[in-house]
Structure 1
Amino acid sequence: MAGRVRIGTSGWVYPPWRGEFYPPKLAHRRELEYLSGQVNSVEINGSFYALQRPSSYESWRDQTPADFEFAVKGGRFITHLKRLRDIDAPLANFFASGVLALGPKLGPLLWQLPPTLAFDAEQLAAFFDMLPRTTTAAAQLATRHDERLDGRAWTTTDADRPLRHALEVRHPSFTDPAFLDLLRAHGIAVVIADAAASWPYLEHVTADFAYVRLHGSTELYTSGYTDEALDGWAERIRRWTAEGLDAYAYFDNDAKVKAPRDAMALAARLGLG
């Protein structure tokens, strides 16, 4: 059976998109609704910067079509400030913040490591062991939140579903083959990051899905993708899905309003437009 394809952007709240991609005078609260009519997935990246609220996740869920899917970016408090150490409460807080309110629209969890964090197999294995692999396990983990989420925690799930995790790395030490072996052993997808040679480029499949982040072909966050480049990504995705893998691709080249247009162009190449 061929895998499913999800194409979208990393986030949707970008002032430069207003009047350029978003129609003039479109209410800001309707921007996600508008974008979700053009692509079939989006990365929630506000969750990287701060814990969101259940009401926000409920609103995002309700603004999008029934077959829409969200990837959710894990908090930088876990990855960048705590650097994956002593994260029992922060991880519980993250899952209690409302992630599970997305229900069947909850897709992969994205964990982005800072460029200063080097490969440490023992540390990563411990982190992977802490990650919940089902929504039921995530709900149980969420009940262990600390007092910061008292009165605003979401600790239930509407159904027991598998949870997937993807890891984006930025330190050159992750080119070690042992890193890929560790990901395969834990069923974690390595993020294939096209980032103008700023970080390691690891085009490998280490789980039952592929996860691509397109940060800019020649200039980070700014440059768009040519027809030839988009054709190449479409061909990769077709190959992965023919092998039975699901594929997720998100454009993060948002600075000059390239991301939504590139996402729509790639989706059209894959018959999703």
Structure 2
Amino acid sequence: MIRIGVGGWNFPEWRGGAFYPDGLRQADELAHMASRLNAVEVNGTFYRSQSPQTYRAWADATPKDFSFALKAPRYATNRKVLAEAGESVTRFTEGGLAELGDKLGPINWQLAPTKKFERDDFARFLDLLPQTGGGLPLRHAVEVRHESFLDPAFAPLCTERGVAIILDGDSTYPSIDSPTADFAYLRIMGTTAGEALGYSEAALDRWAQYARGLQGDVWMFVIAGEKRLNPRAAEALSARI
């Protein structure tokens, strides 16, 4: 399964006919987005806790085959010593996300751009990530954004634990293309105002071909860049795949 989506769904730039029909209620934006794409990366979970009722409402608003990737809370990842994040990790993974059921996709443990690779601390952090949350199996992925993670010791730590390394494409962050899990997670960030679909036709073809060549399930999100055009790029990728 290859899932294509965007980051979030509550953006003024998408309203008034740009992506959402003119007059669509904000309460219906998730359902509309889910009728056009089959995945979303939730950014709100990075900033604040969500209630079990909220997760359930998201699940109820979306089709059966829809998938939610969740950004883990900053309280777990934006810290000097990652190995001390155990309480925050548990609070998040046992905080109701299981209400998403089969719609729960991978968790993105996004590190700060300034966070450097420290082998022992990072290994201990990975060991904090549980196999299940609320009784559901969990998929974990790490998004590292400092060049020190180009260290050859990094990827084997993830492979040993089945944690995916998120590929940041078309960005200023290191692009680490290393399969370390039985699924893949991509975030592409190169949409520009000069392209009607955010990306050129050739670039969309390349990303679609890349996604088709990956092993296991794939989650691919069009993030950042020219945010107004990200849904168009995601739809264009979906059409190719």
TM-score, reference length from structure 2: 0.93
Counterpart secondary structure, 1:57: helix
Aligned length: 237
Q: By how many angstroms is 1:64 displaced? A: 0.1
For 2:84, which of 83, 86, 95 is the aligned residue?
86
Q: Are 2:158 and 1:183 aligned? A: yes
Q: Which residue of 2 aligns with 1:12?
A: 9
Q: Which ranges of 4 or more aligned residues in structure 1 deviate by more than 4 Å? A: none
For 1:30, which of 28, 31, 35 is the aligned residue?
28
What is the identity, as a one-letter code, of the residue corresponding to 2:14?
W
| 1:83 to 1:16, Cα distance in 2 relative to 1, 3 A | farther
| 1:176 to 1:69, Cα distance in 2 relative to 1, 3 A | same
1:69-218 equivalence runs, <5 A? 69-81=67-79, 83-134=81-132, 138-139=133-134, 157=135, 161-196=136-171, 198-216=172-190
Q: By how many angstroms is 1:86 displaced? A: 2.1
2:26, 2:191 → 1: CA distance?
A: 29
CA offsets, 1:128-155, max 9 Å, x none?
Answer: 1111113xxx23xxxxxxxxxxxxxxxx
CA offsets, 1:207-248, max 9 Å, x none?
Answer: 1111100122579xxx922111111111111111xx4x1111
Counterpart secondary structure, 2:3: strand
CA offsets, 1:73-128, max 9 Å, x none?
Answer: 10011111465242222112112332111011111111100011101111111111
| 1:213 to 1:53, Cα distance in 2 relative to 1, 3 A | same
Q: Are 2:234 and 1:234 aligned? A: no
1:120, 1:209 → 2: CA distance?
A: 25
- Root-mean-square deviation (Å): 1.7
Conserved 8 A contact 1:16-1:255: no
Q: Are 2:228 and 1:253 aligned? A: no
| 1:218 to 1:204, Cα distance in 2 relative to 1, 3 A | farther
2:156, 2:76 → 1: CA distance?
A: 23
TM-score, reference length from structure 1: 0.82
Q: By how many angstroms is 1:254 displaced? A: 6.1
Q: Are 2:199 and 1:225 aligned? A: yes
- Which runs of 5 or more residues in structure 1 are unaligned? 140-156
Conserved 8 A contact 1:8-1:263: yes
2:175, 2:225 → 1: CA distance?
A: 20
| 1:217 to 1:204, Cα distance in 2 relative to 1, 3 A | farther
Conserved 8 A contact 1:191-1:211: yes
